[in-house]
A and B are shown apart, each in its own frame.
Chain A
Amino acid sequence: MNAGNDNTLLQVNDLVMHFPIFRGVIQRQVGAVRAVDGVSFDIRRGETLGLVGESGCGKSTTGRAILQLYRPTSGAVHFEGVDLVHLKGEELRRMRRKMQMIFQDPYASLNPRMTIADIVGEPLIVHNVATGREVEERVQHLLELVNLNPSFASRYPHEFSGGQRQRIGVARALALQPSFIICDEPISALDVSIQAQVINLLEELQDEFNLTYLFIAHDLSVVRHISDRVAVMYLGVIVELADRDDLYLNPLHPYTQALLSAVPIPDPIADAKRQRIILKGDVPSPVNPPSGCRFRTRCPIAESICAEARPEFREVKPGHFVACHLVK
């Protein structure tokens, strides 16, 4: 993709993340799960990039590989111009202060034996930014920011509902005043009436602190609401990336078109009018992905070229990238 300008916060270039599969007594490597297989995009300061795709498409792995929670197999990740892939130890730790993550499952991502104060305050202590009384004050302030009563600080996670726990996760992510937050399916474990509360909170915090989000989700309606630009992943690759409205109103890749048409609309009249594209079959295994275009086995318009060559991820009009041989 184009070289980053001053406004680019994060640049991902040809990121590859393979997980080796070992078999036999001597644990020889017999293959690899090609979870992410050459992904490139950049994120501008202050924007929200939505990353959508179905389960197993590699969207969460992409997020984790960016933060170096997984060490990428190859490729480059530049954050504020610094290459994260080759950073180690203390240098990486220092960069991590600026990049935080909110996880999907608010039940599994909070330690049940720690109080809320300990959970939210831990990043401050680990990164030596505050001690003692100061930590306490910062925690109180953080809880207020996410609309939780600061007097709850001495309680344990089990005393909170799913939505409240997710707020605690948000407070923890904000503790180090990061500039970039990866939200990995932050609302998919929550009830419908609670989802809107958390989305609104994330948007308010973004405005207040000029945060940049990578918003990973499978729910295309939510992504349309919160994102400025959207990338669609399928089986380890990005098949389309565009401005939000451009992508939703004028999807070019056949997978994006099918995906959008499959989302049910809470409106029987609008729903009845829509043309639904039903894809055949399931997503192939990332251990042994199809040759050429990865979507060709389910693509309604695939031709012979799709099996032969991997389509290039190219800019078909300003800001609209697509990886398909058949898009003119």
Chain B
Amino acid sequence: MMGRILPKVALALLLMMAVAQAAPQGQVPQELVPQGQASQGQAQGADENISQKRQLLSEILQRPVYQRWKLRQSQEAEPQEESVIAQMARSALQSIWNGFKRIIKWIWKQIKRSNISLPDLPSAPGNMLDFLKMGAWAAFAALLVVAGLYLYGIRKKLRDNIRLAVVLSREKVKDALENGQALALDADGWMTEADRMGAEGDFRAMYRAMYLGLLSGLHESGRIDFRKNRTNWVYVNGYKGSLADRADFSALTETFDQVWYGLKPAEGVSLEEVKAMAGRLLSGRLMAGRGKA
């Protein structure tokens, strides 16, 4: 039976490979294929014609629709940058997988060391012990295969989820920034975003992310009650904390007003001072969190 199936499978595989090689790498619009290309070898005096076609092709490629198509293709081809959390999850999965491989190797070594030989096929149906031993080994092997497949499935699923999570978190940050939703991220998340924006040279957005992080952190610690319909000075006036902290919060709010609403550089306070003040207020948040616990 195997002798009949194997040639068919091999033939099918060969056919698939041939089709895969013959298929184009990307979908090129029909308009882009020069019509005179097929008869290039036949017509000797067709060089001029070909150059005209090439010219036409390059003109067509300059059209916005193909420029957009090219841009989309290149964007799709670009690998997505992973967040720190995604990288950590990936490395954890990798180590689990490596551990599993090590366990398999160790079992295999143990089997080799103990000189356990696989039992011969039972010569007679009466040799039940040998038959059971072989069944147990087969079951063990099947179990290992199933466990391996299961782990592989989990790994694949998690990897997919991580990819999705990366995209979702980007969207989340984008939405939160567009709508000024301070509670969309926690204080640390906002500060990471602020650092990223600072590194990109967008200091206005950096101040904003930092201030949103401050609001998020202060809400988390119960020092303000964040509501999307309240202005920033309502939080300053109703701040539940020490007078020194409130003064810092007031100064940071003033700086945010200048930078974000006023579209001008922060006056009278350096970026380091702003960061230090935000850090002090947020470290108070951690203390308050510990107090609660």
A pairs with B:
no
B positions within 8 Å CB-CB of A: none
